A and B are shown apart, each in its own frame.
Chain A
Amino acid sequence: MAKKEVDDRFKKFGTVSFTAITKTNDFISYLEEGKVMATRCKECGAVYFPPRSDCAKCLNSNMEWFEVTGTGTLLSFSELKYAPVGFEDDLPYTIALLDYGDYKVFGRISQEIPYEDLNVGMKLKTEFNNLPSGQLNYVFKRP
């Protein structure tokens, strides 16, 4: 009997991923193509970031992917000087939340932007990012 293939693509997400198997694994394949994707319910049109495979509004599971494009507004951010186990080598890094209107995106600010230049209300874009370890995530950059 052939060994069953396990789709554990999500283990590639971020510095340390705590999830391997999810129905949103295609998110990782899109990241490998350089795209940061969200999902939209094909039944009721509700949009989700982070992506969901099931619609919380109408309880359908008929979702489609769409790309996070354009700019979002920086709602808040924080630069970490201490890190949880497994993230020490990334220090210092800045986590942040961007508002795209219909949805929000939580992630990291690109190392290209000095902390002093950050202001609540500024416009940033979301872009995929390769980590030195071979893992993947996305970062917020100047448009």
Chain B
Amino acid sequence: MGKVGIIGVGQSNFVRGYPGSIRELAFEGFKEAMKDAKIERKDINASIIASAPEYDKQRSPAGVIAEYLGLIPQPTFYIESVCSSSSMALRVAYSMIKSGLHDIIAIVGFQKMSEISSSESQERMGRGADIQWEAPFGTMMPAYYAMYAQAHMAKYGTTGEDLAKIRVKAATYGQINEKAVYRKPVTMEMFTDPESNISATVAKPLRVGDCCANADGSSCIIVANEEKARALCDKPVWILGLGAASEAVNMAGRDLLTGLSVGIEAGKQAYEMAGVTPKDIDVAEVHDCFTIAEMMAYENLGFAKPGEGKDLITSKETYKEGSIPVNVDGGLLSKGHPIGATGGSQIRTITLQLRGEAGEMQVKDPEIGLVHNIGGVGLYGNVTILGR
């Protein structure tokens, strides 16, 4: 059985208040991926639509979107694992191609978060955790990650200043990514300036600057079997390894509070399948929904030892010129986090990096890249390793 290759990638601009419907939003990412893949609609055997439900009114969005994209009568269906939905969809597409069932599949991730208010959005996000036993206490995503930050600080001496450095890096690249929702610079001083919104506490110890930007957006990844990929694409990017894991939904069911067990487990699986080690990774996209999430990802993926993530960012090793560039497209923090579209956007970034087409964000000659995409508060984890 041959390899599975990525032959086309696309992404809409990530924006606040997209002036259109979900099908029109999905169209934007798909159109760009089709242009990139240079194939026709009839070449696509199936589509997988990925998002998190309840941000818009459409039930069963797959059919509606597939029709709008001109992908009927081919099969289409919906995959959901909250923020890692489109990485999970890639995993499913991989297995369908490996089985020989389909030759070419389009994965379309989307999210239109702006139809509801920020506090409504927090309520829905919080309900991605345990609604019976935890949500009645008034939980939300920043507060859960704040608990990880608090535990990390207590155990390893990590500081708010260390976390701020991660946001400053993200903003450095958000400014040069024309698809990013947050294109302004963020400085260390802003985190201590009471006049700056960046320094406002959301859930101690996390501040506004530690949190990703909600956004509307879509992404599309087109994957093909080896034969088709070689025939249709000059620079296919191959899926070398896939890892996926799950964890207790309730914080009370978890043993590790200084890292995400799903990141560790999914990473281990992906490294093993790809036959590579953390040292072999030339460029990475990690799930920085909060600064602490990127810090933990460094450690969970083996880029740094547990507790030494702060040294990695302090020495700027995760900047574009460093030994392991991470989120040099602005990450979720500055590029934005339209939940269902995020994994596809991360995969697109790494694909462009491996093809040498990342423009101003291009890392020097990368051969192997990694995508780390988390769903919920470490409820689901997907790690995907890609190579030229």
Interface pair B203/A81, CB less than 8 Å apart: yes
**A83-B132 contact in complex given A76-B147, A103-B252, C-beta closer than 8 Å:** no
Q: How far is the CB of A134 from chain B (nearest CB, A)?
A: 14
| B127, B137, B151: residue with the most chain A Cβ atoms closer than 10 Å | B137
**A50-B250 contact in complex given A10-B132, A18-B132, A86-B123, C-beta closer than 8 Å:** yes
Q: How far is the CB of A26 from chain B (nearest CB, A)?
A: 14
Cα A104 to Cα B134 with chains together (Å): 13
Query: Taking CB as reference atom, which chain B residue is nearest A100?
Result: B252
Asked whether B305 is an interface residue with its Cβ less than 8 Å from the other chain, the reply is no
* Chain A positions 110 through 143: 1 when the CB is less than 8 Å from some CB of chain B, otherwise 0: 0000010001110000000000000001000000
* Chain B positions 269 through 282: 1 when the CB is less than 8 Å from some CB of chain A, otherwise 0: 00000000000000
Interface residues of B in 85-144 (CB under 8 A from A): 117, 119-120, 122-123, 126-127, 130-140, 142-144
Interface pair B136/A50, CB less than 8 Å apart: no
Interface residues of A in 96-116 (CB under 8 A from B): 96-97, 103-108, 115
Q: How far is the CB of B201 from chain A (nearest CB, A)?
A: 5
Interface pair A78/B147, CB less than 8 Å apart: yes
Q: How far is the CB of B386 from chain A (nearest CB, A)?
A: 34
**A115-B204 contact in complex given A76-B148, A76-B151, A80-B140, C-beta closer than 8 Å:** yes
Interface pair B131/A95, CB less than 8 Å apart: no
Query: Taking CB as reference atom, which chain A residue is nearest B142?
Result: A82
* Chain A positions 1 through 35: 1 when the CB is less than 8 Å from some CB of chain B, otherwise 0: 00000000010011111110010000000000000
Q: Which residues of B contact A97 (CB under 8 A)?
A: 147, 251-252, 257
Interface pair B119/A85, CB less than 8 Å apart: yes
Cα A96 to Cα B154 with chains together (Å): 14
Cα A106 to Cα B133 with chains together (Å): 8
Cα A86 to Cα B203 with chains together (Å): 17
Interface pair A106/B203, CB less than 8 Å apart: no
* Chain B positions 322 through 362: 1 when the CB is less than 8 Å from some CB of chain A, otherwise 0: 00000000000000000000000000000000000000000
Cα A83 to Cα B135 with chains together (Å): 11
From the candidates A75, A93, A96, name the one contacting B138 in the complex (CB within 8 A): A93
Query: Taking CB as reference atom, which chain A residue is nearest B140?
Result: A84
Asked whether B34 is an interface residue with its Cβ less than 8 Å from the other chain, the reply is no
Q: How far is the CB of B25 from chain A (nearest CB, A)?
A: 24
From the candidates B122, B139, B151, name the one contacting A75 in the complex (CB within 8 A): B151
Please list the 5 inter-chain residue pairs (A to B) with the smallest Cβ-Cβ separation, ordered nearest first.
Answer: A14-B136, A87-B138, A78-B146, A84-B123, A120-B154
B residues whose Cβ falls under 8 Å from a Cβ of A: 117, 119-120, 122-123, 126-127, 130-140, 142-144, 146-151, 154-155, 200-206, 250-254, 257
A residues whose Cβ falls under 8 Å from a Cβ of B: 10, 13-19, 22, 49-50, 75-88, 90, 93, 95-97, 103-108, 115, 119-121, 137
Known A50-B132, A86-B138, A105-B252; further 20 A-B contacts with Cβ < 8 A: A15-B137, A15-B138, A16-B135, A16-B136, A50-B252, A75-B257, A76-B148, A76-B257, A80-B203, A81-B202, A84-B126, A84-B138, A85-B117, A85-B122, A86-B123, A95-B139, A104-B252, A104-B253, A106-B134, A108-B137
